[in-house]
Amino acid sequence: MANRVVPTRSFFSFSLFSSRHRPPKLFYSRPLLGIHTSLIFRRGYSLVDSVLQELDAIRSARRSRATNKMGFPSNKELVDDKVEKRVLQRGLLLEFRKDSQKLLLAVTQKPDGKKNWMVYDQNGVSSSIKPHQVTYIVPGIEDFNHEDIADFIRKTQDLLDPSILEFAWEELLEKNKSVTAEELAEILYGIGDPLESYCAHLLLSEDEVYFTVSECKGSYSVYQPRPSVQVEELLHRKRMKDASEKELEEFVQLLTSAKSKPLSSKPPKCSWLLEEKIQRRIKSLEAYAIDTFTSDEQRKTAGMILKAMGLQKTSSAAMNLLIDIGYFPVHVNLDLLKFNIQTQYSDEILSAAENLLTLKSDPDEANRKDLTFLKVYAIDVDEADELDDALSATRLQDGRIKVWIHVADPACLVQPHSMIDREAMRRGTSIFLPTATFPMFPDKLAMEGMSLQQGKLCKAVSVSVTLHQDGSIAEYTIDNSIIRPTYMLTYESASELLHLNLEEESELRILAEAAALRLGWRRQQGGIDTATIEARVKVANPDDPEPSISLYVEDQSDPAMRLVSEMMILCGEAVATFGSCNNLPLPYRGQPQSNIITSAFSHLPEGPVRSSAYVRIMRAAEMDFRKPLRHGILGVPGYVQFTSPIRRYADLLAHYQVKAFLRGEPLPFSAGELEGMASLLNMHVRVAKRLYNSSSRYWLLEYLRRQSKERKYHALIIRFIKDRLAELLLVEVGVQASALVSVGTQIGDEIKVVIDEAHPRDDVLSVREV
């Protein structure tokens, strides 16, 4: 036979093979439908031929008795011949479909209405079934006892061997014959008793390789052998499926073993990525955890693994499983994975950065202003790695104040459209998290080549501004410069110096005076004070199950923070004015004033309460790349972010434009090009902000989870959400929550609360007034 999958075997050898399923005497003691096996083999017939000829003879006799008509039967008549008509009656053993996934054996009890029947199934449950639910009626049984169903099922297990279908398929395909379950029972087992017939039905109905249904009438089906080519394909698929199931089983055993091990003994993450087949499954679970599937196959694979592990098909189940096996750390930041944040630089970028550090040339050397005579204060958070701004101040003879905002000058190293520039643009911004910083530029380049460093000569772009007595800008200049930073101060130490009011630090007092003038002037121009209390968290060893958490609570109305904030706003206004006067395309940032006048909130206490009310009415920021926009919230006629070119690419763009103008060179970017780049940069900034907010919130809740349940916190009532449900600010930790408060309390009141629950992974914080 062409394209035969296995060599043809006679059914004599097959009968010997199948006899292991029954006692030998049941197979050989009786002739096959009245035809002795010796006669069969003398005539050279196969067993299949003999069985089918005998069955055909019986059917022919029945047809002759039933009708005097001559001629060939129709297809319908052939089906009628193949299946014996049976009607439902009491005591029949049948198989029925309980639901889409379950088939049960049952015994018919009594009619239930016109068509339905009450049955008693193998689980001892009595129910009503419809005729179309019946999938097979076991022949030769008229009064079966439902108590014997379990024994009947047990006996079928001794006879079921799907592999024997292959031999029957070969012979039937050779003769182009179709069969019913009863006929196959005669062929396979040499007998068509109820047990054998049901076993043959099970083999045929569950077979997905050798046979397919050719005709179906009610609960009876006729099966025909599939073509050899189709069987080959199905066998190939089955082998692939079996191999995949075996691999899945082995993988599940691997996961189970890893879960059971103590934390110190769990396999490292890299070990899960060594073998391709294991890596593929691990990556599918990772994609399930962060919902970043690359294909339906990946989703299906993860679902199968979770099901095999007895887990729900949810992202949290996948995440917890990966934590349990040691692939994820306990405090894994899923957003970093979800947004595919690049935490490392390629060797090519690192090499290019090293080359920049070796360059001695300075394109602006000829026109750098020497400002090393100034006392320079760099004020930032204590763990800042990239220092990109610093301040100086003096009092002029006429009493006015002159300040300098010195900004790091990365554009003297990095050229527009260079490899390092393209990488910085692709990242868009440095990302600051409690656990790590992912800089826009490679670390060494940012910290050694670009950052301002105490006591060292540093290249900068210095914006000098002379103020009128009311705080408005009287004069300004922008210059490439050389400075030597005098102090590197934290906000805390700068505030302490201001409080001490030391004579030798008069320049710092002048800066604070300038900041106060600027704040007053901005408020007169409609500027809004949005200073509040914020938490800053730093985490050491974040991959440990119990890492060290340091919490800093910052009051933005602190004198040093006010000082720095006002000088940064002043710098942005001066650069916007410079750009406007010289018709420079720049990323001008504006924000429309809200329609609600700020006096509407004058009854609210100053600080976090009033700031929170302002923030809720603020309108979205706007951008223009040809001319300044009024910034209503800041109260300035124009504003350009300029003071963080190491951390924000938009600031670096402004540097490129301004420095090219100062050199008298063509501007590197048109307004249209800036606009196109800004849309991409805004997306990066939004992602970075989301990462910062979600990560900070997570670690704040983890910090609170570890605190004593008896600890009491001071909470400020920010606003009422509904009735007595209030939004609170926990002052000691700078985190917001909501809770029911006592009758009579008002906005701005301070109450005491305790924390009932803090679940960082689920972002749950439940507080209660005490």
**SS3 sequence of 318-373:** HHHHHHHCCCCCCCCCHHHHHCCCCCCCCHHHHHHHHHHHCCCCCCCHHHCEECCC
Provide the pLDDT confidence category of residue 622 given band limits of 50, 70 and 90.
very high
H-helix segments, 160-295: 165-175, 181-189, 194-206, 228-260, 276-290
What pLDDT sits at residue 28? Answer: 27
Tokens 């009968």: give the residue: 15
List pLDDT tens digits, range 573-610.
999 999 999 999 999 999 987 766 767 888 899 899 99
Strands 750-759 and 764-769: antiparallel
Half-sphere exposure of residue 640: CA atoms within 13 angstroms, side-chain side: 29
As a whole number, mean pLDDT of residues 14-24 equals 35
* CA separation for the pair 446, 352 (Å, rounded): 13
Q: Are 200 and 185 in contact (CB under 8 A)?
A: yes
Q: Are 728 and 737 in contact (CB under 8 A)?
A: yes
* CA separation for the pair 95, 103 (Å, rounded): 7
H-helix segments, 379-490: 419-427, 443-444
Q: 163 or 389: which carries more pLDDT confidence? A: 389
- Exposed/middle/buried for 719, CB within 10 Å: 0-12, 13-18, 19+? middle
> In 419-472, which ranges are E strands?
431-432, 437-438, 458-467
Q: What is the DSSP track for 485-529? A: --EEEEHHHHHHHHHHT-GGGHHHHHHHHHHHHHHHHHHHTT---
Provide φ and ψ at 722, rounded to 5°: -160, 130
Q: Are 103 and 135 in contact (CB under 8 A)?
A: yes
- What one-character DSSP code corresponds to residue 664? T
Element (H, E) at 576: helix 559-581
List pLDDT tens digits, range 235-248.
999 999 999 899 99
Residue whose C-alpha is closest to residue 758's, from 510, 525, 549: 549
As a whole number, mean pLDDT of residues 442-455 equals 94
| Residues making up the chain, counted from first to last | 770
* CA separation for the pair 508, 563 (Å, rounded): 9
- Whether 223 shows a pLDDT value over 60: the answer reads yes
Strand partners of residue 640: 588
What pLDDT sits at residue 5? Answer: 29
pTM: 0.76
Provide the pLDDT confidence category of residue 714 given band limits of 50, 70 and 90.
very high
Element (H, E) at 482: strand 473-483
- In the chain, the largest separation of any two C-alpha atoms, in whole Å, equals 134
- Exposed/middle/buried for 96, CB within 10 Å: 0-12, 13-18, 19+? buried
* CA separation for the pair 666, 682 (Å, rounded): 26
Element (H, E) at 694: helix 671-706
Strand partners of residue 370: 482
Report the percent of the chain where pLDDT is more than 70. 88
Encoded tokens for 742: 């006592």
What pLDDT sits at residue 643? Answer: 97
Tokens 């396979």: give the residue: 188
**CA 266 from chain center: how many Å?**
24
530: how many CB neighbours lie within 10 A of its CB? 16
Q: 42 or 506: which carries more pLDDT confidence? A: 506
Encoded tokens for 46: 């196969």
* CA separation for the pair 14, 18 (Å, rounded): 6
* CA separation for the pair 433, 414 (Å, rounded): 26
Tokens 């763990």: give the residue: 383
What pLDDT sits at residue 85? Answer: 59
* CA separation for the pair 677, 428 (Å, rounded): 10
Edge to edge, the sheet with strand 750-759 lists 735-740, 725-730, 713-722, 750-759, 764-769
Strands 622-624 and 533-540: unpaired
For the ranges 378-387, 521-530, 636-645, the one whose mean pLDDT is highest: 636-645
Q: 744 or 43: which carries more pLDDT confidence? A: 744
Q: Are 711 and 703 in contact (CB under 8 A)?
A: no
Provide φ and ψ at 643, rounded to 5°: -95, 0
Q: Are 585 and 674 in contact (CB under 8 A)?
A: yes
Tokens 């009619």: give the residue: 111
Provide φ and ψ at 172, rounded to 5°: -70, -35
Average pLDDT over all residues of the chain: 88
Q: Are 18 and 189 in contact (CB under 8 A)?
A: yes
Q: Are 718 and 728 in contact (CB under 8 A)?
A: yes
Residues 6 or more apart whose Cβ sits within 8 Å of residue 260: none
What pLDDT sits at residue 84? Answer: 52
